[in-house]
């Protein structure tokens, strides 16, 4: 389970080191999510967009390209990721980044009329309070759009790796606990949004390819990636000796079984959620 404080330390640093490969895993979702957001932005004359959990800035930069004239603020709890975002933006006048916890963020100088997130809202310790704070920070009538994973079972990269783990390294978190799959249950998310004052909540299921390995040796690339990010990385931190060697052999076979067309890819499943803040 990944907690908010993890992103401020080692987890955020690792994702900063691996931003190119983590962005690659979301490529199949990224364009669709951005297109949905751009469409909402133009239909509602959006002028200020808050990108929650902006990571290395790819979504913020894409939104800036897609919504001409809008101001963009990307926030992330990881100082390392925000540093990469700033460097990539190169001082573009409509784009800014800040190290901030979205559950407590407020900026009187930046009042968004769209709040956006690509898989950045599942780690709140108190999601109702966090979504309420974000709603209160926004203009009346503001739009909310975010993506999150559906169930572990529908995300083969996660369920498959989980099945390879020794039992002692794979505790099952309680439903809704902060982490990558905290928002898998749409009824749970609908309740959170309603309880925090958002209206017109709707969820769209999206299936996409999760690309874990590419290049001249895609299986080795996937193995390297999984040892840095996700459930395999967490497991390897707690096992050693023969158990570690056995797990790595299984992981290699698992990756090789999903090699096709020069890449290692897995079925992945997400929700795209939209909601609105009441106009008055």
How many beta carbons lie within 10 A of that of residue 253, not counting itself?
A: 11
pLDDT of residue 171: 53
Q: How do the pLDDT tens digits run along the chain, 280 residues long?
A: 445 556 555 777 898 999 999 999 999 999 999 999 999 999 999 999 999 999 999 999 999 999 999 999 999 999 999 999 999 999 899 999 999 999 999 999 999 999 999 999 999 999 999 999 999 999 999 999 999 999 999 999 999 998 998 765 445 566 678 899 999 999 999 999 999 999 999 999 999 999 999 999 999 999 999 999 988 888 888 888 999 999 999 999 999 999 999 999 999 999 999 999 999 7
Q: Give me the DSSP letters along 166-204.
A: -GGG-PPPPTT-SSTTTT--HHHHHHHHHHTT-EEEEEE
Answer whether 192's CB lies under 8 Å from 128's CB: yes
**90 is a domain residue:** yes
Q: What is the Cα–Cα distance from 129 to 114, expressed in whole angstroms?
A: 18
pLDDT of residue 170: 47
**126 is a domain residue:** yes
First to last CA, the chain: 38
Domain with 119 in it: 4-152+174-209+269-276
In angstroms and rounded to an integer, the radius of gyration of the C-alpha atoms of the chain is 19
Q: What is the CATH number of the domain that holds 102?
A: 3.40.50.150
**196 is a domain residue:** yes
Domains in the chain, number: 1
């Amino acid at each position: 389970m990944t907690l908010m404080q993890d992103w401020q330390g080692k987890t955020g640093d690792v994702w900063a080191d691996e931003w190119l490969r983590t962005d690659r895993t979301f490529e199949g979702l990224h364009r669709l999510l951005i297109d949905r957001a751009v469409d909402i932005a133009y239909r509602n004359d959006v002028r200020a967009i808050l990108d929650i959990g902006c990571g290395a800035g790819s979504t913020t930069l894409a939104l800036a390209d897609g919504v001409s004239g809008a101001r963009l603020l990307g926030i992330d709890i990881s100082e390392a990721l925000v540093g990469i975002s700033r460097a990539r933006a190169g001082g573009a006048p409509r784009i800014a980044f800040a190290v901030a916890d979205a559950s407590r963020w407020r900026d009187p100088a930046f009042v968004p009329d769209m709040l956006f997130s690509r898989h950045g809202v599942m780690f709140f310790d108190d999601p109702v309070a966090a979504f309420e704070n974000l709603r209160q920070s926004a203009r009346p009538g503001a739009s909310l759009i975010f993506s999150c994973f559906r169930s572990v079972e529908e995300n083969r990269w996660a369920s498959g790796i989980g099945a390879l783990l020794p039992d002692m390294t794979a505790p099952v978190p309680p439903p809704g606990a902060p982490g990558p799959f905290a928002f898998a249950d749409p009824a749970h998310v609908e309740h959170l949004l309603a309880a925090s004052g958002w209206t017109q909540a709707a969820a769209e299921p999206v299936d996409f390819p999760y690309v874990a390995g590419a290049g001249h040796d895609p299986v080795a690339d996937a193995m390297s990636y999984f040892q840095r990010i996700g459930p395999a990385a967490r497991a390897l931190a707690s096992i050693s000796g023969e158990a570690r060697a056995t797990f790595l052999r299984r992981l290699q076979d698992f990756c090789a079984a999903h090699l096709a067309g020069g890449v290692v890819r897995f079925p992945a499943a997400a929700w795209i959620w939209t909601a609105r803040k009441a106009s008055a």
